[in-house]
Structure 1
């Protein structure tokens, strides 16, 4: 009984700490989301390269997912997540420097390192699941996703207020939000290293009676585990497709708005609505997963993403209510797919297998979304924003197919248990 109480107390402390770092990390990531593509366009002088900042950020989050998972496997969640936030802060500082010296190469490098914050925020949801009881896993995981709303909605609206700060420092106005990112991401790393005690992954290993096995790499164990569990593989597929649809459309939306003469304040408003959709309703998604199962929520997410793509394709350049609604739904559909896909992944994996499996999941998510960002820039440059939305619609349809497969497998397994 005492062990259960200790576990519950440690889980509550873990979730509270992660919620605090998610707010700081959310501000750090979202502050530059409004102006990232605009800054890339200004430094490079080319519209077709405007999406590369977001693409490299996503690519960075993918490539850094494996080192972060390896550190978690060897040392625990606290050092791995602290490292991720520190790297991200260095990336934001690199972007500020790139703006000052007009170096597109340094801008891309900084964007890639900034992607470490995405990997940290993704890893935080897994840390929330380490000590969670199975019947509360969806809700605990979604709470950590949800609180990102505070920082992520507030962050894009700093584009305007950050302008005087940038001028005071003698910087390009578009670099101002990344100064704020540098500060908040540094704070996130400090809070993580001070407060995430006991380490949830290490404690969960102790409670499960599992020993750390250095000779068996976390990634290799994760890959082997995912091959054994189709539900985990389907969860990765759902998350990867949702991520590529969301990133591809979102990263080019500021360009679509500004080309229609929308102001930076308007761009910030639309992106804030999108991020609100991404995170604000995560607890509802978590409750839905715990109540009805992950596949139905994933199916709903694919459907919402499809509606978002259709509405975005119908919008004209510049600000419109239609585009605002489309971006909100784009975030909402992603939220449903992200929470349900994460739960599908975590469920069948043991504590020892989770860091590697989760690292592989984030790697695949990042790589597919990075490719989507590259394609998005090319598509908008040559064919327009509407065609980008049409392509996103096919990704939403693929998510619904995977969700239907997961639902069928779940029902088949349930029937098999009934027969037994």
Structure 2
């Protein structure tokens, strides 16, 4: 297959029409994989905390499952970034998705034998799917022009909506499936996750050929040589807008920390106030829909009105979500739903604008490795947010968690304007 890819590479390097066809084909393959990946992602978000609480008998460690699979996603992001840098997007992403599916199978086993140790190990491995789901957005941008990048990110993300919204709302039906075959009800969503992640990985592995990142590198190299600037190749490899990378990274990390912390404890908060799994699934489903469904519009806005404006909108929306979550009564399905929808929307603004800033600030020769490294910090931030969210709620309240989230979100705004002033100077 490697030889086939090498033989077809010149056709893409020398033809803009072929490049556009490959760009559209790549987006289609990413869309297909993200539909499956979204369903796999939703399982851990919805019932991971409840499964741990059921096994351990306390909510103090309810944030640990999300912490573990976000910590696992940090390691996976590093590995996927490294594999993608050396071998291309296809092998990196398929490795992550299939590994996540194996982790989901382990969670099913842990729930069956009621083993917290196996649960925690499996959730860590399951995190690889979460990382792949997020990093797949980069594959759609490799062949996109500067004015298409945010839109390409959004197209890749919007497909996740179908699986991610269906996932939480399949909690009760999948629980019945699990019970019917002799497994605990809470293991049901992870049956869906295992199948979904493995299908996503196989879709990427089989169909993402030729690899868009490898093609983009060949095109960049060819263009430099054609312009008789061979000496500039090495300089271009080293050229990185470090301020832009920092701002994009902070935007991704802080928005993710706020979103994960509040989202993780919402199912536990609702259950403590008498809500059932169906109501929890509805709220989380709408939250995940808000994370991904607005993506197409967000991408267009980021490309047209600018990265900075949408980054500020992210901070303000996340802050409003934290304040609403803090003041919403624990038994109010309406207000918690509104708060979680705003939480997802603010995260969406931050993810797409932050990703676009990072792509603008790097080059094709080192981009995959940089992207992977930043996603490591995103995952580590999410892991810290998950752990601290459980401790904060256990020793203070869910309202305090909301206020802390709002404060962190507002920190984004001075960081963004500092960077803008720095770049002008």
TM-score (structure 2 length as normaliser)? 0.91
Verify: 1:379 aligned to 2:381, yes or no: no
| SS of structure 1 residue aligned to 2:15 | helix
**1:315 match:** 328
Verify: 1:272 aligned to 2:285, yes or no: yes
Verify: 1:189 aligned to 2:197, yes or no: no
Verify: 1:303 aligned to 2:316, yes or no: yes
Moved over 4 A (4+): 223-226
The answer to whether the 8 A contact 2:141-2:152 is kept is: yes
| Alpha-carbon distance between aligned partners in 2 of 1:201 and 1:242, rounded to the nearest angstrom | 27
**1:340 match:** 353
Verify: 1:33 aligned to 2:77, yes or no: no
Could you report, residue by residue, the CA deviation over 1:345-378 in whole angstroms, capped at 9, with x for unpaired residues?
A: 1112111111111011101101111111111000
Show the 5 A alignment for 1:55-204. 55-204=67-216
Could you report, residue by residue, the CA deviation over 1:182-205 in whole angstroms, capped at 9, with x for unpaired residues?
A: 111111111111111110011101
| Alpha-carbon distance between aligned partners in 2 of 1:2 and 1:363, rounded to the nearest angstrom | 36
The answer to whether the 8 A contact 2:94-2:205 is kept is: yes
| Alpha-carbon distance between aligned partners in 2 of 1:323 and 1:404, rounded to the nearest angstrom | 31
Could you report, residue by residue, the CA deviation over 1:83-138 in whole angstroms, capped at 9, with x for unpaired residues?
A: 00110001101111111111111111111111111211121111111111111111
| Alpha-carbon distance between aligned partners in 1 of 2:89 and 2:364, rounded to the nearest angstrom | 12
| Alpha-carbon distance between aligned partners in 2 of 1:19 and 1:83, rounded to the nearest angstrom | 17
| Alpha-carbon distance between aligned partners in 1 of 2:93 and 2:333, rounded to the nearest angstrom | 39
Q: Which is worse superposed, 306-315 or 121-130?
A: 121-130
Of 264, 271, 282 in structure 2, the residue corresponding to residue 251 of structure 1 is: 264
Change (3 A) 1:122 1:225: farther
| Alpha-carbon distance between aligned partners in 2 of 1:45 and 1:398, rounded to the nearest angstrom | 36
| Alpha-carbon distance between aligned partners in 1 of 2:97 and 2:239, rounded to the nearest angstrom | 28
Q: Which is worse superposed, 16-25 or 167-176?
A: 167-176
Could you report, residue by residue, the CA deviation over 1:268-317 in whole angstroms, capped at 9, with x for unpaired residues?
A: 00001111110111111111111111111010011000100000000122
| Alpha-carbon distance between aligned partners in 2 of 1:196 and 1:320, rounded to the nearest angstrom | 42
**1:416 match:** none
In structure 2, list runs of 5 or more residues that go unmatched. Answer: 1-12, 224-234
The answer to whether the 8 A contact 1:225-1:353 is kept is: no
Verify: 1:349 aligned to 2:362, yes or no: yes
**2:410 match:** 397
| Alpha-carbon distance between aligned partners in 1 of 2:395 and 2:222, rounded to the nearest angstrom | 54
| Alpha-carbon distance between aligned partners in 2 of 1:132 and 1:118, rounded to the nearest angstrom | 24
Could you report, residue by residue, the CA deviation over 1:309-352 in whole angstroms, capped at 9, with x for unpaired residues?
A: 00000012234311110000000000000000000011121111
Could you report, residue by residue, the CA deviation over 1:30-89 in whole angstroms, capped at 9, with x for unpaired residues?
A: 133221110010111121111110111111111111111111111110011110011000
Change (3 A) 1:337 1:260: same
The answer to whether the 8 A contact 2:44-2:66 is kept is: no
Pairwise CA distance, 1:210: 7.5
| Alpha-carbon distance between aligned partners in 2 of 1:193 and 1:117, rounded to the nearest angstrom | 14
Verify: 1:360 aligned to 2:379, yes or no: no
Show the 5 A alignment for 1:41-52. 41-52=53-64
Could you report, residue by residue, the CA deviation over 1:192-250 in whole angstroms, capped at 9, with x for unpaired residues?
A: 11111110011101111189xxxxxxxxx9x9766x52111100000000000000000
| SS of structure 1 residue aligned to 2:140 | helix
**2:226 match:** none
**1:19 match:** 31
The answer to whether the 8 A contact 2:157-2:292 is kept is: yes
In structure 1, list runs of 5 or more residues that go unmatched. Answer: 212-220, 414-420
What value does the CA root-mean-square deviation take over the aligned residues? Answer: 1.9
| Alpha-carbon distance between aligned partners in 1 of 2:189 and 2:348, rounded to the nearest angstrom | 25
| Alpha-carbon distance between aligned partners in 1 of 2:290 and 2:384, rounded to the nearest angstrom | 23
